[in-house]
Amino acid sequence: MATPVDRLFVHCKQLVTLTDGPFSGPRRGAAMQALGVIDDGAVAVRDGCIVAVGPTEAIAREYAAADELDLTGFVVTPGFVDCHTHPVFARTREREFHMRCAGADYMAIAQQGGGILSSMRAVRETGLDVLTELTTEHLWGFLQHGTTTVEAKTGYGLSLHDEEKSLRALGAAMAQVPLRCKRTFLGAHEFPPEYRDNREAYVEIVCKEMIPRLAKLADYCDVFAEPGVFDRVQSLRVLSAARAEGLRLRLHADELQPMGGAELAVELRADSADHLGKISEQGIAAMAASTTTAVLLPGTGFFLGKDIYAPARRMIEAGCIVAIATDFNPGSCHTQSMTLIHTLACVKLKITPAEVLTASTINAAFSLQLDREVGTLHPGKRADLAVLELPSYEAVGYAFGGNPVVMTIADGEPVCVNTSDRSPDPFTGSTRSRAPRTDD
């Protein structure tokens, strides 16, 4: 007699399980190529968790469910994990994009009121309710692109009041969207105008006022460790204060100029060092010998028109834990499409489609301490899936400019179909239905 489960997803053209590797922990080096692909695959789900994966014939013989969804023709992967985003903002900055296209550099844009401080002014002018509504919209956007888990940063308030407002808006938005989310306090994103000439005073406020007050609203603390922003000593002060309040650590590191940010992240046992466009050979060696994840953000260099990309091939070959993320934000990388980032990672970082999938699932989950819950399709993990209209997993990164995600499944529930209906029920009226295609 077949074992009852809540739901079956059957006849996936290819089911990319990543079960060729261990249940949890990161994948390094050659292990990033092991995807555990099952042709004509199926997933059995109970209580939002994976019970079993395997060929459809075997799963259908062993398990029975009232709800069964036929995914013939689709490649199915773990839901994407976007481990570096900035979704708490009030206005976009397309004017700056136009200026960059016309040849303006960062300093010229800043002198005309642009940059991070432009987003700061918008957040400060926006009330909690409106900021919550906007952040909710941004979180839904991830689901529309197959992402089921995100790390979400603040960093556009730059005062105690406005960073608290940002974290509260994020918390309220999280309650309205079926998206797994880790919260990061980024009060050390830039120096606000009122402290431009007294930077030490602002560092003191971040360490002595913001972090003690806001630690209970966040999971992580991040800092923009870069020459001209927070130097090594200031970054160390902020991160040490955060750790003392129980926050885990992340760093924007070595993005535009080398400052030993990767080495600092390893020294502090931070969970991630992000960007790394100018990482040193010493930084690569330090990260390879550590459990700090290198979160690479190729969309940022592309969108800014800067030919600065992390040396991903050297990092993978050295044994670093490599993840990729969108860096979704209003100024330097305005995309929520992990599939676009897959293309940029292949083209600009020179990593393979298999490595791209590993970097945007299990390795990204490891950087968020969620690798025992998501990132692969091992039985016991949450049933988070991205359903892609691709000829095979080898086409990851190949087609770009559209959205190949036709359905996003979180905890075993289809939460986004590529229609205007955000909470569709593809099972309504039938115990066996087929996922809608974009061309139907």
Per-residue pLDDT of the chain (440 residues; tens, 9 = 90+): 899 999 999 999 999 999 999 999 999 999 999 999 999 999 999 999 999 999 999 999 999 999 999 999 999 999 999 999 999 999 999 999 999 999 988 767 877 778 999 999 999 999 999 999 999 999 999 999 999 999 999 999 999 999 999 999 999 999 999 999 999 999 999 999 999 999 999 999 999 999 999 999 999 999 999 999 999 999 999 999 999 999 999 999 999 999 999 999 999 999 999 999 999 999 999 999 999 999 999 999 999 999 999 999 999 999 999 999 999 999 999 999 999 999 999 999 999 999 999 999 999 999 999 999 999 999 999 999 999 999 999 999 998 999 999 999 999 999 999 854 445 555 543 334 444 433 33
| Spans of all domains in the chain | 3-79+375-434, 80-367
**At 350, phi and psi to the nearest 5?**
65, 40
How many other β-carbons are positioned within 10 Å of the β-carbon of residue 399?
Answer: 15
Residue 112: its pLDDT value, please? 79
Which CATH superfamily, name and number, covers 3-79+375-434?
Urease, subunit C, domain 1 (2.30.40.10)
For residue 116, give the amino acid letter.
I
Residue 427: its pLDDT value, please? 52
The whole-model pTM stands at: 0.95
Residue 309: its pLDDT value, please? 98
Measure the CA–CA gap between 382 and 86, rounded to whole angstroms.
25
Residue 426: its pLDDT value, please? 58
How many other β-carbons are positioned within 10 Å of the β-carbon of residue 47?
Answer: 10
Sequence-ordered alpha helix ranges (H) in 84-150:
94-101, 106-111, 116-124, 128-144
Residue 369: its pLDDT value, please? 98
**Contact between residue 34 and residue 27 where contact means Cβ atoms under 8 Å apart:** yes
Measure the CA–CA gap between 252 and 217, rounded to whole angstroms.
21
Q: Cα 57 from chain centroid? A: 34
What proportions of the chain, in percent to the nearest 5, are helix, strand and coil? Answer: 35, 25, 40
- CA angle at residue 333 from 423 to 392, to 5 degrees? 60
How many other β-carbons are positioned within 10 Å of the β-carbon of residue 373?
Answer: 16
Closest by CA position to 305, among listed 102, 123, 153: 102
Best CATH choice for the domain 80-367 from the list 3.40.50.720, 3.50.30.60, 3.20.20.140, 3.90.226.10: 3.20.20.140
